[in-house]
Amino acid sequence: MADVRPDPDPADDPVPAEADRLTRVFGSRQFFRLWIVQVTSATGDWLGFSAIIVLAARVGGSAGVGAGAVSLVLAARIVPGFLFGPLAGVLVDRWDRKRVMIACDLGRATVVALLPFVRGLGGLVLASLALEALTLLWSPAKEASVPKLVPASHLASANSLSLLAAYGTFPFAALLFAILAGVSSWLGGLGVSHSLSLDQMALAFYVDSLTFVASAALVSRLDIGGRRVSAHADASDLRRRATRALHEVREGWHYIFINHTVRAVNLGLAMALIGGGMLIPLGAVYSTDVLHAGAAGYGVFTTALGFGVALGALGVALLQRRLPMERVFTTCLLLAGSLLFVAASAGTLGVATVAVGLMGVAVGPVYVSGFVLLQQEVADDLRGRVFSSLNLLVRSCVLLSMVLGPLVAALLGGLSQGWLGGSVEVLGVEVGLPGVRLALWLAALIIVGAGVVALHSVRAGQRSRAFHARRHPSPLPSTRLGPPRGELGA
């Protein structure tokens, strides 16, 4: 039987008013250390990602399949999520999370350190699969640990800071990758680079490996509780554990659909990503073919979106005590879809950029409030499975949208040209209807639909809680829906 530690209620330990500035911002010194871990790990991830792309192009170029090699390596970072993602959540819920994070960091450090010696495409694909499998364990372990490190009143700030760590480190990693090129040239002038194979790509991998080692060292100092199971088992016990693991996978997915709040977040984010993901392959086409702004216009889009997301996440963090997170989640989904519709309807780069920037302001709170709701609603012994399921939904929907986006744009463009001549007249103004605009309009409607679905699920949950409150007026020990704690590992 698993040793289930009690899940302390972070709300019982609020941040005192006289706490130091670090604690007031991060919620606790323990979470500050975890945030440094995230910054370190994310910087290494982005740095290693750039180096892997360079290595894939180099290996594939020697085989005459450069572009195909890059696509194959990127696909290798997606496939494990479908095969290993559900099981990863079960393992995270059953194992000690600190040990999981340390082992994954050290495993990733080892794999990355060996990449400079890879000479074939097969080895690079295997390394990418291993890195992604380890990340699939590390990420839900980290997300499930956050509520143990900060008071409930600081969960919004914690998730905003996590978002900043995950994506705000990309420019720094890109700058570091460029600096490593200069370091490699300097070492080459000393005759060291060639003899030790210390080119820009190899240096990036070695630095990436060191970031994972540093992350493991920092995690070892964190006070993260987790479930533990015995590592010793005989042959007859292995089959029972395997059966129980499959049962727990099903139990995790079942919980997502019986808990109204968890269902609202997962379905809302999944549908929103199907729509929002289309902006990735279609944004450059829209900037070039519709707005005639070229690649520079697409760069302006992405910059505005990034600053908007950061501003929106910061706003939720600052106003978290005054904001009902369920309402923030659903309202911002509706706003994000509406603003994407405006951006796709724009005829100038300026209007489109403002709309995309405001869309980012709405997207940031969707991410932050969604994670806060999951961390508050889900019991500790289910949290790993819920977050791993969310990761699987995110990967599936982003991949689906990136594949379908260009196909939908081509189909709608053909229909528009055949039926309407590619444009319509509205109030005396001719409005062009290229396929990319119609596809983005469809994407916007999907995001709005995600907001409607999430709102319906949230209201159903509110009605259910009100009904149970009338039937059972005495306060209950927990408002969470699902199996009682400790039942899963029995």
pLDDT tens digit string along 418-434?
Answer: 888 877 877 777 778 88
Residue 97's pLDDT is: 85
So what's the pLDDT on residue 67?
53
* Confidence at residue 241, expressed as pLDDT on a 0 to 100 scale: 57
pLDDT at 246: 64
- Predicted pLDDT at 445: 94
Q: What pLDDT score does 245 carry? A: 58
pLDDT digits (tens, 9 = 90+) for 64-74: 455 556 667 76
pTM above 0.85, yes or no: no
The domains of the chain, with CATH numbers, are 28-229 (1.20.1250.20), 256-473 (1.20.1250.20)
The whole-number pLDDT of residue 136 equals 83
The pLDDT value given to residue 184:
65
Q: Across the 490 residues of the chain, what is the mean pLDDT of every consecutive 10-residue run?
A: 41 51 79 88 81 73 54 69 71 83 93 85 84 86 84 80 77 75 62 54 85 91 63 49 62 72 86 82 82 80 82 82 86 94 90 92 88 81 76 76 81 87 75 87 93 89 74 51 37
pLDDT at 214: 92
Give 7-16 pLDDT, tens digit per residue: 444 444 555 5
Give the 3-state DSSP-derived string for the chain, with helices as H, strands as E and coil as C.
Answer: CCECCCCCCHHHCCCCCCCCHHHHHHCCHHHHHHHHHHHHHHHHHHHHHHHHHHHHHHHHHHCCCHHHHHHHHHHHCCHHHHHHHHHHHHHHHHCCHHHHHHHHHHHHHHHHHHHHHCCCHHHHHHHHHHHHHHHHHHHHHHHHHHHHHCCHHHHHHHHHHHHHHHHCCHHHHHHHHHHHHHHHHHHHHCCHHHHHCCCHHHHHHHHHHHHHHHHHHHHCCCCCCCCECCCCCCHHHHHHHHHHHHHHHHHHHHHHHHCHHHHHHHHHHHHHHHHHCCHHHHHHHHHHHHCCCHHHHHHHHHHHHHHHHHHHHHHHHHCHHHCCHHHHHHHHHHHHHHHHHHHHHCCCHHHHHHHHHHHHHHHHHHHHHHHHHHHHHCCHHHHHHHHHHHHHHHHHHHHHHHHHHHHHHHHHHHHHHHHHCCEEEECCEEEECCHHHHHHHHHHHHHHHHHHHHHHHHHHHHHHHHHHHHHCCCCCCCCCCCCCCCCCCC
